[in-house]
Amino acid sequence: MKLSRRGFLSGGATLAGLATAKMAFAQAVQKLGPPSENWRFDGGYWARVRSQFMTPEGFGYLNTGTLAPTPKPVFDAMVEYWRLMAVNPHENSNVLQGRQEAIRVKAAQFVGASPDEIALTRNTTEGLVTVIKGLELKQGDQILHSFHEHSSNVQPWRLQAKRYGFELKEVPFPTPPKSPDEILNQFNDAITGRTRVITVSHCTTVTGCLLPVRELTKLARSKGILCLVDGAHTLGMIQYDLHELDVDTYASPAHKWLAAPAGSGLLYVRAGLIDRIWPNIVTQSWYQDKGARKYDRLSRRPWPQVAVLEDAMDYQLGVGRARIEDRARGLATHLRSRAADIPGVILYTSNDPRLAGAMTTLGIKGLSGQVIHNYLRERYDVFVSPRSRGPVYPADPAGMDGVRVSTHYYNSFEQVDRVLQGLKELAPGKA
């Protein structure tokens, strides 16, 4: 094969640009330095981590459950990828696209799967819809889902049910539940001879409740039922192994707890199920793609957004995934433990680590979630997510109305204490 001097120099520049981006990223992560042995309370270490996020000084961003800020090393890497696209779009696009399989391998290791079971999607919704539309269900079949599912795991099912005549059944459980068994028993009692699918969030968007996914999968498997999981709030929040969970499918985004820019995500499909789920979008040679790759063949993609998924995972690995989970959970436990002592505060999230991760939903008697949100934002410069009654985030049968507080590793105890101070001031008779 003959190569022109121009082509060789162009390709060399591409690889050099990619190498430069990776080198700058590695150096930025190294600047964090090692935490002390007492890292759980090492304020200096966590301050260094926080300094690599670009949120304004003093601003307490506590809404990772919707969209996370991006650490600067990850942001800078993506900017370099887009620069490479701007200067030589065709060849540089090919180079970034060529990273796809290496990213798939790293993602599989990250979540405890094999590369053939991983599709590189754009977000959770795309992963969920791929599975929902790809399954062949018929009139009379029944699908069970929890009463706290996100619209992305309800509305596509409703569309398919209307089209094909199968039944959706909502399964409630206490808010908060007293134990994982309360949830498991509710699903067990709801199963009928027509049930074909159980679909749940690993961590619910409404209250941050962790569901006993491994036990639900075991229950489903014993009755020949599929267990499909919305993992929107777990990738980057808690550690898990999909093969150990034994789920059938698992869809996640990278823009929440993994803190990547929006535009990338993961879909896991268990190897034994791949032949039963049809792809929704196909292009050239789709029928030759092996494994879950057939679900991410979208033709021209913004490859910098796919490439930066690798950097987002590498950043978490650099900080330490166990360390991140411990920090995020520790902040949430601090919030829930102290909020429980404030008169008038209602906790919709359990403080049992089996039932909660790093999201907490709470309210105050007599106040709407929007009022609480506004007060905390305007008086204490902290941003939390209102969870008031409405069509997008419906209240549960107990009348849930409040705010959802997401605590991640770049947050601080001081920011959480500002929330607690605001709640004390808003408590009945205090505001």
- Give yes or no for residue 397 having a pLDDT over 80: no
Q: Give the CATH number, domain containing residue 399.
A: 3.90.1150.10
Coil/strand/helix, residue 355:
coil
Banded model confidence at residue 288, pLDDT cuts 50, 70, 90: confident
The vertex-148 CA angle with 66 and 358, nearest 5°, equals 45
Percentage with pLDDT > 70 across the chain: 93
Task: Give the pLDDT confidence score for residue 10 in this predicted structure.
Answer: 47
- Give yes or no for residue 3 having a pLDDT over 60: no
DSSP state of 386: E
- pLDDT tens for 347-368 read 999 999 999 999 999 999 999 9
Asked which of 315, 335, 354 is the last residue of a domain, the reply is 315
Cα 410 from chain centroid? 16
Mean pLDDT of 252-271: 97
| Per-residue CA distances from 207 to 180, 259, 309, 396 (Å) | 15, 20, 27, 10
Rounded Cα gap, residues 48 and 40, in angstroms: 14
367 and 311 assigned to the same domain: no
Task: Give the pLDDT confidence score for residue 396 in this predicted structure.
Answer: 54
Give the chain's domain count. Answer: 2
Asked which of 315, 345, 366 is the last residue of a domain, the reply is 315
Task: Give the pLDDT confidence score for residue 6 in this predicted structure.
Answer: 43
Does residue 144 form part of some domain? yes
303 and 262 assigned to the same domain: yes
Coil/strand/helix, residue 329:
helix
Between 389 and 85, the higher pLDDT residue: 85
179 and 234 assigned to the same domain: yes
Task: Give the pLDDT confidence score for residue 344 in this predicted structure.
Answer: 94
Diameter of the chain measured on Cα atoms = 81
2-16, 40-54, 164-178, 290-304, range with the lowest pLDDT: 2-16
Rounded Cα gap, residues 295 and 291, in angstroms: 9
Does residue 229 form part of some domain? yes
Residue 192, Cβ density class (10 Å: 0-12 exposed, 13-18 middle, ≥19 buried)? exposed
Does residue 36 form part of some domain? no
Mean pLDDT of 78-94: 92
Does residue 228 form part of some domain? yes
Query: What secondary structure does DSSP assign to 141-193, as a single string?
Result: -EEEEETT--GGGTHHHHHHHHHH--EEEEE---SS-SSHHHHHHHHHHH--T
137 and 239 assigned to the same domain: yes
Task: Give the pLDDT confidence score for residue 29 in this predicted structure.
Answer: 85
Does residue 34 form part of some domain? no
* Cis amide bond preceding 176, omega within 30: yes
| Per-residue CA distances from 24 to 53, 75, 88, 312 (Å) | 16, 11, 21, 14
Asked which of 286, 315, 344 is the last residue of a domain, the reply is 315
- pLDDT tens for 115-149 read 999 999 999 999 999 999 999 999 999 999 998 89
Element housing 369 (H / E):
helix 369-380
269 and 181 assigned to the same domain: yes
Q: What is the dihedral of CA 69, 75, 78, 79, to 10 degrees?
A: 120
Does residue 431 form part of some domain? no
Task: Give the pLDDT confidence score for residue 137 in this predicted structure.
Answer: 94
Banded model confidence at residue 170, pLDDT cuts 50, 70, 90: very high
Q: Give the CATH number, domain containing residue 267.
A: 3.40.640.10
Rounded Cα gap, residues 357 and 333, in angstroms: 9
Rounded Cα gap, residues 331 and 409, in angstroms: 8
Bridge partners of residue 146, in order along the sequence: 171
310 and 380 assigned to the same domain: no
Identity at 264, one-letter amino acid code: S
289 and 357 assigned to the same domain: no
- Give yes or no for residue 280 having a pLDDT over 80: yes
Rounded Cα gap, residues 360 and 273, in angstroms: 34
Does residue 7 form part of some domain? no
- Give yes or no for residue 262 having a pLDDT over 50: yes
DSSP state of 320: -
Average model confidence (pLDDT) across the chain: 91
280 and 191 assigned to the same domain: yes
Can you give the residue range of the structural domain that contains 411? 322-426
271 and 177 assigned to the same domain: yes
Token duo for residue 252: 């996640």
150 and 180 assigned to the same domain: yes
Rounded Cα gap, residues 257 and 66, in angstroms: 9
| Per-residue CA distances from 232 to 127, 229, 248, 257 (Å) | 10, 9, 16, 9
Does residue 412 form part of some domain? yes
- pLDDT tens for 42-72 read 778 899 999 999 999 999 999 999 999 999 9
* CA-based radius of gyration for the chain: 23
Task: Give the pLDDT confidence score for residue 431 in this predicted structure.
Answer: 54
260 and 379 assigned to the same domain: no
- Give yes or no for residue 386 having a pLDDT over 50: yes
Cα 129 from chain centroid? 16
- Give yes or no for residue 182 having a pLDDT over 70: yes
Between 307 and 5, the higher pLDDT residue: 307
Percentage with pLDDT > 90 across the chain: 78
Contact 393, 405 (CB under 8 A): no
Rounded Cα gap, residues 65 and 407, in angstroms: 9
The vertex-78 CA angle with 77 and 82, nearest 5°, equals 120
Banded model confidence at residue 417, pLDDT cuts 50, 70, 90: very high
Q: Quick count: other Cβ atoms within 10 Å of Cβ 324?
A: 24
Residue with tokens 């808003």: 426
Task: Give the pLDDT confidence score for residue 9 in this predicted structure.
Answer: 38
Mean pLDDT of 100-108: 97
Helical ranges in 205-289 per DSSP H: 213-222, 242-245
127 and 226 assigned to the same domain: yes
Element housing 306 (H / E):
helix 303-319
Task: Give the pLDDT confidence score for residue 71 in this predicted structure.
Answer: 96
